[in-house]
Structure 1
Amino acid sequence: MDWSAAYDNAGFIPEAAGYLTRWPTEAAAFRAEAAGRLDLPYGAGPREAFDLFTPEGTPEGLVIFVHGGYWRRFDRTDWSHFAAGPLTRGWAVAMPSYPLCPDVTIPEITDCIRRAVEAAAAEIPGPIRLTGHSAGGHLVARMPAAELAPEALSRVERILPISPVSDLRPLLQIDLVETLRLTPESAEAESPRLAPAPDIPVDVWVGAEERPVFLDQARWLAEAWGAAHHVATGRHHFDVIDDLRDPESPMVAALLA
């Protein structure tokens, strides 16, 4: 089996490049209109910062969205518009960036997101919801076992990984393994599927038209954790997150339940 092809989403999605060029433009337009604060640091590194979008009035709580990109691409400013659904429902939304492979390892990225969650939690009181896409889905699923500060972890009431990579061991077979600086030891330690199920409600979301390995990855996590498992009809890896922009979508309803 060609594992590199198996995990290549863009190569199998028609007009994939259009998503990658459209997202930053739509995100910039959203930031120009949305209320909030940008570039809040959670660490000393240039990518260790988050944007915080706030609704009118007192927030219902805090949603934290972690972007994907194979742990090696993108920035929070490419994804701002995906805050729209929860924001319209009265929730504040934090979107962190993080250092990328190969400058750092995946365990180091996990620790960055832990610190980002703690910093965002200090800005907004109330319940917390964690969601993320692809590599971001992996990162939010890592949080229950990532030594998150108790005062932040105790407020996390739901985790919604979207198209997550829940078992990193198959990635040891892909061409990018050296870029990801992945070892057998780190692949095992960083696999949420292999961690104890958290005492937090989890909804695993994936598109029905995704690559078979991503359908497997989502199912593995749902089965390992006894989590809810949603397969979105007609959605592929790049458009499965579109429902985050719709305040009335089933995805946003599940996230904020």
Structure 2
Amino acid sequence: MTDSREVLTRPASPPDLTLSYGPHPDHVIDVRLPSRSEAPLVVVLHGGFWRSAYDRRHTGPMASALAAAGYVVAIPEYRRTGQEGGGWPGTFDDVAAALDAMPSLLEPYAAMPPVVMGHSAGGHLAVWAATRPSARLRGVVSLAGCLDLLMCSDLNLDDGAADLLLGGSPAEVPDRYAAADPARLALPAAPVRLLHGTSDDRVPIEVSRSYAARRGAPLRELPGVGHFALIDPLSGAWPTVLDALPR
């Protein structure tokens, strides 16, 4: 099965509206609306190893496809490493603030509570956010998520992306890893589903296997599927992604 990065730059329809959840230029949420009213809400947390080089725009094809499938789709931006305020704790504060603001911001457009879906680094943020006591979610879907930060650090994924996110290695900032690593936190109250391709060369499937073994979350392994196919509506894996969303 092909796994092209072309999806990251493929043109997509613009969001129907963009809402603000805070004072920073990145404190915004792109919203795409389906043709019917009273649709369920899916919040998509984008990946990119938490780095500023990757923003929410690369999820355009995915977001448009989810809206066409009948969902209200909200894609929050957040500060990332390589920019002022990104990393620990700003990235986490932003994701929490965006999710906490959505009930009031999106009340006219969507039934609440949402499902949170995240890809790669966004998968990590989705599961982490779901462990917060204030989280009110219908479910969490991790697509090739970085769900074991200690393993991501040990494997030096994307040239030390996990250590850059948290400002040091697990030996240097153990308290931050303890607070940010889904594999070391309690299983969220909302149901968690994991999808991961066996041919992923960006986040090895062993990362999701580790989380699934530690926390008992169901993992669906997709033979021959790579990292980017999970966010590509043109890929053969896309129907499986849609099936993972609770109805």
TM-score (norm 2): 0.82
Name the one with the larger helix percent.
1
2:149 alignment partner, one of 138, 160, 168? 168
1:80 alignment partner, one of 55, 60, 81? 60
CA distance in 1, matches of 2:77, 2:103: 16
Identify unmatched segments of 5+ residues in structure 1: 1-13
How many residues align? The count is 230
Instruction: Supply the RMSD in Å over aligned alpha carbons.
Output: 2.6
Shift, 1:244, TM fit = 8.8
CA distance in 2, matches of 1:58, 1:71: 33
Shift, 1:197, TM fit = 1.1
Change (3 A) 1:60 1:129: same
Shift, 1:179, TM fit = 3.6
Change (3 A) 1:109 1:19: same
Change (3 A) 1:120 1:136: same
Shift, 1:191, TM fit = 0.6
3-state SS of 1:77 partner: helix
User: What is aligned with 2:13?
Assistant: 30
1:70 alignment partner, one of 49, 62, 85? 49
CA distance in 1, matches of 2:123, 2:234: 14
User: What is aligned with 2:31?
Assistant: 52
Identity of matched residues, %: 26
User: What is aligned with 1:43?
Assistant: 22
CA distance in 2, matches of 1:209, 1:246: 14
CA distance in 2, matches of 1:246, 1:210: 15
Identify unmatched segments of 5+ residues in structure 2: none
2:190 aligned with 1:207: no
Shift, 1:107, TM fit = 3.3
Q: Is the 8 A contact 2:121 2:145 kept in 1?
A: yes
Shift, 1:61, TM fit = 1.5
Kindly provide the CA deviation profile for residues 51-110 of structure 1, in whole angstroms up to 9, marking residues without a partner as x.
011111213221000110110131112212111343123210001111111432243212
Please identify, of 113-122 and 87-96, the stretch whose mean Cα deviation from structure 2 is larger. Answer: 113-122
Shift, 1:138, TM fit = 0.1
3-state SS of 1:126 partner: strand
CA distance in 1, matches of 2:50, 2:240: 27
User: What is aligned with 1:112?
Assistant: 94
Change (3 A) 1:30 1:141: same
CA distance in 2, matches of 1:244, 1:60: 23
Q: Is the 8 A contact 1:82 1:245 kept in 2?
A: no
CA distance in 2, matches of 1:247, 1:87: 18
Deviation >6 Å, runs of 4+: 244-248
Shift, 1:248, TM fit = 7.5
User: What is aligned with 2:218?
Assistant: 228
Change (3 A) 1:121 1:220: farther
CA distance in 2, matches of 1:224, 1:138: 15
Change (3 A) 1:212 1:51: closer
Shift, 1:172, TM fit = 4.0
